[in-house]
């Protein structure tokens, strides 16, 4: 194992920010009580929870009562979709309405749509171009074609970094009277928050602790809990919150937003260098995703004749933690649905995503070792020179 390691998989989750660690430790002493209790310790916890909720709501451009904390970004996505599609009792038809989503949405969104489809709902996915971007006009045509309960379009893709036309789609969906769910997990704390009717996010993506997701629902949106009634989190999330983790998440988000413009510009330049130099250094490499209108910290590339898992393993041995293929399906060895929808190589893929504070020297080291690693894997596979 290399002594010097570089963590380059921030799109899967950032290391815990130092300010979040401090807030977490302090909250274990001050925020351990149930905030729903009326005694002094409970009231203290309730005040802390209210402050955390207000802080996150301010970043999202929401009212505090529109924001609920979940156990993860995945849970937030499930609740957003199923609650947004749920029909009112006695309204006729199945239990769920129709969902229109891009073909490159997070697997949690698509899985929830599939579950709803089995109970009377419908799902239509809208394709993307080779850069991974949905056509806004085509998306809106799909919404208009049949009665639609909910539309879903991510702010930016978690695998290739391409930013989606959320502003245009939201405006058109509003004219149709259809709420838009925005999966903003990759952009909250890094980029401006786009317009939304429902929004989901994950604290671990901005340097907060794992185990905290965010579900935001506008007051004007009809949303019905897809589970038995529960008074916690505005009736949207069953059970209580882990208050110390929530406080740490809110603190980390404040810190991320404070230096987002400067840090995003710095990382954007480093990724631009990666995108430019990779094809020059490594033969038969395709860099995917939009080169300009993209997340500042993500670059994904495909190496012909190379197994992605083998490449990730070899880079790990040399001290680099990077992602491979889909962040959600790499462990199952299934091809990425995002890359397949884009029509690019679905094997031999590596995603490099830079955490806040990432050193450019780590990227330089990666560029130094990567050509030899790829050449060695191709030679062992008997495909060198093809």
Residues recognised as catalytic = 328
- The DSSP result for 39-92, as a single string, is SHHHHHHHHHHHHHHHHHHHHHT--GGGEEEES-HHHHHHHHHHHHHBPPTTSS
* 3-state helix/strand/coil string of 315-364: HHHCCEECECCCCCCHHHCCCCHHHHHHCCCCCCEEEEECCCCCCHHHHH
Report the C-alpha gap between 148 and 225 in whole angstroms.
18
CA distances from 108 to 81, 111, 183, 215 (A): 9, 5, 10, 14
Report the C-alpha gap between 179 and 98 in whole angstroms.
12
CA distances from 115 to 79, 222, 235, 304 (A): 12, 20, 21, 35
Sheet holding 198-202, edge to edge: 67-70, 213-217, 198-202, 180-183, 150-152, 98-102, 122-126
Report the C-alpha gap between 362 and 354 in whole angstroms.
10
Report the C-alpha gap between 17 and 252 in whole angstroms.
6
User: Which SS3 state, helix, strand or coil, does residue 6 take?
Assistant: strand
Q: Would you state the structure tokens that stand for residue 31, as one six-digit string?
A: 């925020």
**CA-CA-CA-CA torsion sign (356, 167, 111, 347):** negative
Q: Would you state the structure tokens that stand for residue 137, as one six-digit string?
A: 């006009």
Report the C-alpha gap between 83 and 77 in whole angstroms.
10
Q: Would you state the structure tokens that stand for residue 285, as one six-digit string?
A: 């490499």
């Amino acid at each position: 194992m290399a002594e010097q390691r570089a963590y380059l998989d921030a799109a899967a989750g950032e290391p815990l920010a130092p300010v979040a660690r401090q807030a977490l430790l302090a909250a274990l002493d001050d925020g351990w009580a149930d905030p729903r209790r009326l005694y002094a310790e409970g009231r203290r916890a309730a005040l802390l929870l209210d402050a955390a909720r207000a802080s996150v709501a301010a970043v999202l451009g929401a009212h505090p009562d529109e924001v609920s904390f979940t156990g993860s970004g995945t849970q937030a996505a499930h609740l957003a979709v199923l609650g947004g599609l749920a029909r009112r009792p006695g309204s006729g038809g199945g239990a769920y309405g129709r969902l229109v989503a891009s073909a490159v949405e997070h697997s949690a969104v698509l899985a929830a749509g599939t579950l709803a489809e089995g109970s009377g709902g419908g799902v239509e996915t809208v394709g993307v171009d080779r850069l991974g971007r949905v056509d806004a006009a085509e998306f809106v045509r799909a919404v208009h074609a049949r009665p639609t309960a909910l539309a879903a379009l991510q702010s930016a893709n978690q695998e290739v970094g391409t930013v989606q036309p959320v502003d245009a789609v939201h405006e058109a969906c509003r004219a149709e009277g259809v709420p838009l769910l925005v999966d903003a997990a990759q952009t909250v704390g890094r980029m401006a928050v786009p317009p939304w009717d429902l929004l989901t996010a994950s604290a671990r993506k901005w340097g907060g602790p794992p185990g905290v997701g965010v579900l935001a629902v506008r007051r004007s949106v009809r949303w019905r809990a897809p589970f038995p009634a529960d008074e916690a989190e505005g009736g949207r999330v069953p059970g209580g919150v882990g208050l110390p983790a929530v406080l740490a998440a809110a603190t980390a988000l404040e810190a991320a937003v404070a230096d987002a413009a400067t840090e995003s510009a710095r990382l954007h330049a480093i990724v631009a260098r990666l995108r430019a130099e990779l094809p020059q250094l490594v033969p038969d490499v395709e860099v995917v995703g939009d080169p300009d209108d993209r997340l500042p910290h993500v670059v994904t590339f495909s190496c012909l004749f190379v197994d992605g898992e083998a490449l990730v393993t070899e880079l790990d041995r040399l001290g680099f933690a990077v992602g491979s293929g889909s962040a959600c399906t790499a462990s199952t060895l299934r091809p990425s649905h995002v890359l397949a929808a884009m029509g690019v190589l679905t094997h031999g893929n590596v995603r490099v995503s830079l955490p806040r504070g990432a050193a450019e020297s780590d990227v330089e080291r990666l560029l130094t070792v990567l050509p030899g690693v790829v050449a060695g894997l191709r030679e062992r596979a008997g495909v060198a020179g093809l």
